[in-house]
């Protein structure tokens, strides 16, 4: 995967256009009227480096590196508070996810970002078998035994692969499932200018 | 009453061993009483939830959801897809909306599906089990099969995020959706009229990656239920249920609270009200036992 802090050639330092064309739902960013309603909606709000409102302002101001290396998008819990409140009806949740995913594709995510790590493992786990399994059962046992010192520490200390807690039945047409993902990825990479 | 049939999308939570699959167990019991036939979508795959965005991006995420739709269309034609997991329902609804709204994405999704010889014709409807209950039956109809009352138990209806936003259950408000409360009251229980954490977020999947921040949310959710006199919490979402139940002991340990509040699914309450046993209702799968409900099943 390319690590790329440079603005890709077609955008001539126009980060807004880059976002519009390459980030999921990015074409909505210009509709933001900076009212600030979303900024007060995030459950982890006090821990956000930049609120969605600020992120959208920074995109328009061309602060590419600051946006793509921000910790902010990774604090999104997908609660959709912002979406139902935004007077301009921006799909804020998906723009946040889209920015996070784009930063991931470009290799710009801050090292050790725990949600980034968990999210990547989650996807890789499901892509392997088609399903994520037994999450709750094992989790429940895990906590019942009083083992937990916060999954975060455990994950970061690499003492445990948290995906061990997902057991696994594979789907039958695993080959087909993986072929679908591969094809979809190929099309999307092309659109994002990450290949060819 | 005529049998109603649906294409069932159980999601990952159905894959649990019987001892913990209290949601699925109780849904099955409830559906038996209501004469609802759920047929699993053959070879369904995980929807990737909300947290799939990072590695999944847009199109791969849409495509794997559409794979389930294509399977349902082919093998269970004409049946609505019904999900029990709030996050599954949301992922699927979002996919459907996104594809219905964009010929381009629809084309690309079908290109991806073709790699497995599948095609999505945009014929499915996506519904949550709660919608089936409220819209295809209605509270009055649901009450007809009631055998036992949940009288004397006070429930905090914790709706959470994903059955409520961004789509919500038709006719409900985002700030104060009433469907859980109404279900509780339908079966004789007492619903909290004031519960300020009703639609708060528990942290969702970030409970894994940001435990402290999520546990603060969960603490508020449980504390407010206690403050308003609840004896149990009821939810429509497996992740809410897990987060809110599982972390109570952890919060107690760290913060000296004495939380011990059972967290149940609407389907468990209904199974009990329909005269089901403790096992039918999956009450044996609770980490924090719901003793008052257990007593009703023994009556
Ligand atoms: S609520 Fe909407 S319009 Fe207001 S700042 Fe946020 S994104 Fe912009
Ligand atoms: S969905 Fe994400 S961005 Fe929107 S309010 Fe929730 S945490 Fe904030
Ligand atoms: S939302 Fe969660 S439980 Fe439901 S299928 Fe997706 S990953 Fe599984
Ligand atoms: S309340 Fe929690 S589990 Fe339920 S949808 Fe929100 S974040 Fe997800």
| Mean pLDDT for chain B overall | 92
- Which of B84, B100, B129 terminates a domain? The answer is B129
Residue B250 lies in a domain: yes
* Residues B85 and B22 occupy one common structural domain: yes
Would B54 be classed as within a structural domain?
yes
Contact criterion met (CB < 8 Å) for A172 and B43: yes
pLDDT of residue B246: 82
Residue B234 lies in a domain: yes
Range of the domain at B62: 4-129
The answer, yes or no, to whether the previous bond of B195 is cis (omega within 30 of 0) is no
In a domain? residue B134: no
Q: Are residues B9 and B122 in the same domain?
A: yes
Quick one: pLDDT at residue A133? Answer: 55
Distance CA A105, CA A4 (A): 10
Enumerate the β-bridge partners of residue B81.
Answer: B7, B126
Q: Note the pLDDT tens digit of each residue in B124-135.
A: 999 999 999 999
Check: CB of residue B95 under 8 Å from CB of residue B65.
Answer: yes
Nearest atom in ligand 3 to the alpha carbon of residue B47 is 6
Does residue B180 form part of some domain? yes
Ligand with an atom nearest the CA of residue B164: 4
CATH assignment at residue B287 = 3.40.50.11810
pLDDT on residue A94:
96
With 0-12 CB in 10 A as exposed, 13-18 as middle and 19+ as buried, what is A111? exposed
pLDDT surpassing 50 at residue B299: yes
Contact at 8 Å (CB) between A16 and A186? Answer: no
Give yes or no: residues B199 and B157 share one domain: yes
Q: In what order do the strands lie in the sheet with B126-128?
A: B36-40, B4-9, B81-83, B126-128
Tell me whether residue B189 is in a domain: yes
Q: How many domains are there within chain B?
A: 2
* Domains of chain A as residue ranges with CATH: 14-106 (1.10.1060.10), 114-191 (no CATH)
Q: What is the pLDDT of residues B65-122, one digit of tens each?
A: 999 999 999 999 999 999 998 889 999 999 999 999 999 999 999 999 999 999 999 9
User: CA B216 to CA A183: how far, in whole Å?
Assistant: 41
A7: confidence class by pLDDT, cuts 50, 70, 90: confident
Q: Which of B107, B129, B151 is the last residue of a domain?
A: B129
Q: What pLDDT shows up at residue A75?
A: 95
Shared-domain flag, residues B151 and B120: no
Q: Based on the domain organization, do B157 and B106 belong to the same domain?
A: no
Q: How confident is the model at residue B238 (pLDDT cuts 50, 70, 90)?
A: confident
Helix (H) or strand (E) holding B191: strand B190-191
Other beta carbons within 10 angstroms of residue A87's beta carbon come to 10
Would you state the pLDDT for residue B14? 56
**pLDDT reported for residue A13:** 79
Is the pLDDT at B38 greater than 50? The verdict is yes
Q: Are B162 and B92 in contact (CB under 8 A)?
A: no
Do residues B164 and B204 share a domain?
A: yes
Q: Is the pLDDT confidence value at B19 over 50?
A: no
Question: Do B79 and B24 reside in the same domain of the chain?
Answer: yes
Same domain, B202 and B248: yes
Asked whether residue A147 carries a pLDDT value surpassing 50, the answer given is no
Ligand 2 and A115: CB distance under 6 A: no
SS3 state at B208: helix
Q: Which residues, in sequence order, are bridge partners of residue A67?
A: none
Mean pLDDT across the stretch A119-144? 63
B116 and B229 fall within a common domain: no
Q: Which of A93, A94, A98 to mutate to test the pocket of ligand 2 (most atoms within 8 A of CB)?
A: A93
Give the pLDDT confidence of A43-92 residue by residue, as tens digits: 998 888 899 999 999 999 999 999 999 999 999 999 999 999 999 999 99
Whether residue B293 sits in one domain with residue B151 = yes
Please give the backbone phi and psi of residue A133, each rounded to the nearest 5 degrees, phi first: -120, 155
Query: What pLDDT was estimated at residue B13?
Result: 63
**Which pLDDT does position B285 carry in this prediction?**
80
Mean pLDDT of B271-296: 94
Q: Strands across the sheet with B190-191, in order? A: B190-191, B154-157, B232-235, B263-265
State the Cα–Cα distance between residues B84 and B135, nearest whole angstrom: 15
CA of B50 to the centre of ligand 4 (A): 10
Contacts of A44 in chain B (CB under 8 A): 203, 206, 210, 213
B204 lies in the same domain as B152 = yes
In a domain, B110, yes or no: yes
Q: Is the pLDDT of residue B30 over 80?
A: yes
Q: Are residues B274 and B150 in the same domain?
A: yes
CATH number at residue B116: 1.20.1050.140
Nearest C-alpha to atom 5 of ligand 2 is from which residue? A42
pLDDT of residue B243: 84
* Spatial CA neighbour of B23 closest among B263, B229, B258: B263
Encode pLDDT of A10-29 as tens digits: 887 799 999 999 999 999 99
Which of B104, B129, B154 terminates a domain? The answer is B129
Segment B149-161 shows an average pLDDT of 96
Per-residue model confidence as pLDDT tens digits over A178-188: 999 999 999 99
For residue B196, what pLDDT band results from cuts at 50, 70 and 90? Answer: very high
Atom of ligand 2 nearest to the CA of A44: 7
- Closest residue by Cα to atom 2, ligand 3, is B49
Looking at residue A195, what is its pLDDT? 72
- pLDDT-derived band at B17, boundaries 50, 70, 90: very low
The answer, yes or no, to whether any atom of ligand 4 lies below 6 A from the CB of B202, is yes
Query: What digits encode the pLDDT tens for the residues B41-58?
Result: 999 998 988 788 898 899
């Amino acid at each position: 995967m390319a690590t790329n802090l440079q603005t890709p050639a077609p955008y001539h330092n126009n980060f807004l256009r880059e976002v519009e064309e390459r980030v999921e739902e990015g074409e909505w960013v210009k509709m933001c009227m900076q009212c600030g309603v979303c900024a007060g909606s995030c459950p982890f709000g006090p821990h956000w480096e930049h609120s969605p409102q600020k992120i959208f302002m920074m995109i328009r101001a061309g602060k590419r590196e600051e946006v793509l290396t921000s910790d902010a998008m990774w604090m999104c819990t997908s609660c959709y508070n912002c979406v139902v409140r935004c007077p301009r009806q921006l799909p804020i949740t998906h723009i946040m996810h889209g920015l996070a995913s784009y930063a991931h594709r470009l290799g710009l995510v801050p090292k050790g970002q725990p949600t980034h790590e968990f999210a990547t493992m989650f996807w890789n786990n499901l892509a392997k078998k088609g399903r994520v399994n037994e999450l709750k059962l094992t989790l429940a046992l895990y906590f019942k035994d009083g083992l937990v010192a916060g999954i975060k520490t455990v994950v970061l200390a690499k003492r445990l692969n948290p995906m061990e807690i997902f057991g696994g039945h594979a789907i039958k047409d695993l080959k087909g499932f993986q072929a679908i993902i591969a094809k979809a990825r190929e099309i999307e990479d092309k659109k994002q200018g990450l290949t060819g | 009453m005529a049998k109603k049939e649906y294409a069932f999308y159980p999601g990952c939570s159905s894959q649990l061993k019987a001892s913990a699959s209290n949601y699925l167990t109780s849904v099955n019991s409830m559906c038996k009483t209501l004469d609802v036939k759920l047929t699993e979508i053959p070879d369904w795959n995980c929807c990737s939830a909300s947290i799939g965005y990072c590695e999944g991006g847009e199109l791969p995420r849409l495509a794997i959801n559409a794979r389930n739709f294509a399977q349902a269309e082919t093998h269970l034609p004409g049946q609505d897809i019904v999900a029990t997991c709030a996050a599954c329902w949301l992922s699927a609804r979002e996919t459907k909306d996104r594809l219905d709204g964009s010929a381009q994405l629809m084309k690309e999704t079908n290109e991806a599906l073709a790699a497995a010889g599948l095609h999505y014709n945009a014929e499915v409807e996506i519904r949550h089990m709660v919608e089936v209950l409220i819209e295809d039956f209605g509270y009055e109809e649901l009450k007809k099969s009631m055998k036992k009352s949940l009288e004397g138990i006070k429930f905090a209806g914790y709706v959470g995020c994903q059955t409520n936003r961004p789509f919500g259950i038709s006719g409900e408000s985002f700030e104060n959706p009433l469907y859980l409360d109404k279900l509780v009251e339908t079966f004789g229980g007492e619903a909290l009229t004031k519960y300020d954490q009703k639609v708060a977020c528990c942290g969702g999947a970030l409970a894994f990656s940001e435990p402290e921040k999520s546990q603060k949310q969960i603490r508020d959710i449980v504390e407010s239920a206690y403050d308003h006199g609840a004896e149990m919490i009821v939810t429509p979402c497996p992740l809410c249920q897990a987060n809110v139940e599982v972390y109570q002991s952890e919060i107690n340990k760290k913060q000296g609270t004495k939380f011990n509040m059972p967290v149940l699914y609407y389907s468990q309450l209904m199974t009990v009200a329909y005269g089901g046993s403790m096992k039918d209702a999956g009450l044996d799968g609770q980490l924090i036992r719901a003793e008052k409900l257990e007593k009703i099943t023994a009556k």
